[in-house]
Structure 1
Amino acid sequence: MTELVLIAEDDAEIAGILEAYFTREGFRTVHARDGQIALDLHRALKPDIVLADITMPRLDGWELLAEIQRRDRTPVIMITALDEDGDRLQGLRIGADDYIVKPFNPIEVVARAKAVLRRAGLGQTSAVIRVATLTIDLDSYQVKIERDGAMTTLSLTLTEFRLLAHLARTPTRVFTRSELVDACLPGSDALDRTIDSHLSKLRKKLEQAGGEGLLASIRGVGYRLAVDA
């Protein structure tokens, strides 16, 4: 089961950005707009990690952290606009696993969450996806394809890598173009034809490496990996 991230953040825009980036990296997410809702969701869903803003309604981040620590040992990353050493020390003293200051790079937040999960022994069981002749390493952003017993490394753009990894996570599913835009190009103004262009280039690279037929387009629907290729 993919790890569940509880995002406790009263700013809907920030929460949406975090949800998009975590989802793109294969996590499940749930959002709480205040500390009390976050506590209730923690009790009901038992998330694998919590991202908690400090200044939230009803229960603030410190109270949420203390309650979570009283219940179990769910990893918690504090996210705040307060860049004070005292706040940082307080969070770590109470039991926070990391402390991130706004404004932040969401890619860094995801990377630090992965590091916390690994330290807690809760990281994704495998950062490698293997499907058909493909091996996709999510940590090193490397893709290799096997042909005649030899492995060839593909040179992909970041967008091509994200598209391929997203398709590979559910290789039997057909994804629409709009779903691929939302998952792999969040917050962009990309159009369907942009996805077509990226996937056309990706298909050529796969074919050149011996992966003919791996990427299938389903007329009128979208794209999937041809796992029986």
Structure 2
Amino acid sequence: MSKRTKFGLLGKDISYSFSRKYFSEKFEKLGLADLTYSNLDIPEIEEFPFLLYHREDEYQGINVTIPYKESVMRYLHEIDEDAKKIGAVNTIKVTNDNKLFGYNTDFYGFQKSIEPFIKNHHKKALILGTGGASKAIAYALKKMNIAYKFVSRSKAEDKFTYEMLNQQIFEEYTVIINSTPVGTFPNVNESPNIPFEFITEKHLLFDLIYNPEQSKFLKEGLKRGAAIKNGYEMLELQAEKSWEIWNS
């Protein structure tokens, strides 16, 4: 069997990709000139098997991003327990017998990144958005014994809608996590529609967005004395965890 030299990021409209730059620079630093990392940009998840057809033995690992973290799961041979519980995969390892194993390293990256900022009064969190990344965040919060509620545009028994958010909720929920893409470059003047006037110095705002470095969401929190953190370190940590999985 030829040596596996390829890695990639599976997603849609991912020219901005953090992963390609990160891993290409990593391979260069480690002197691994034979390894490549490319964007596997496909319009529909149904193209995924054809993308790999006759090429499985070239790939060692694949990262998965929006919008395929959930839909890719049907194409995998095995899924790690954490990823199963989360219901989303962001890392695929291709085994020597060309089986696809799915993992989730997002929850690990998020947990390690937010933990140093958690204070005793941070007992409850609001998760803005309900996509694949939000599931990993919920899983990490559960592990940290922080209660959480999703905030969504549509009504549901177990969720808040944006319209429901008020001062009382903000006094109770002092960690607010943006898992939506709202505010990502180039739309830097946008932010999730929350009542920022109820943010205080007791709040911690975490944004999965890292471009711009300070999103409007984070700037509004900073203005009111809240602790803030963007998603760059989370991405680095989840990427390193992926690398560990691919090489184990």
TM-score category, normalised to shorter length:
0.3 to 0.5
User: 1 or 2, which has the higher helix percentage?
Assistant: 1
Q: Which structure has the larger Rg?
A: 1
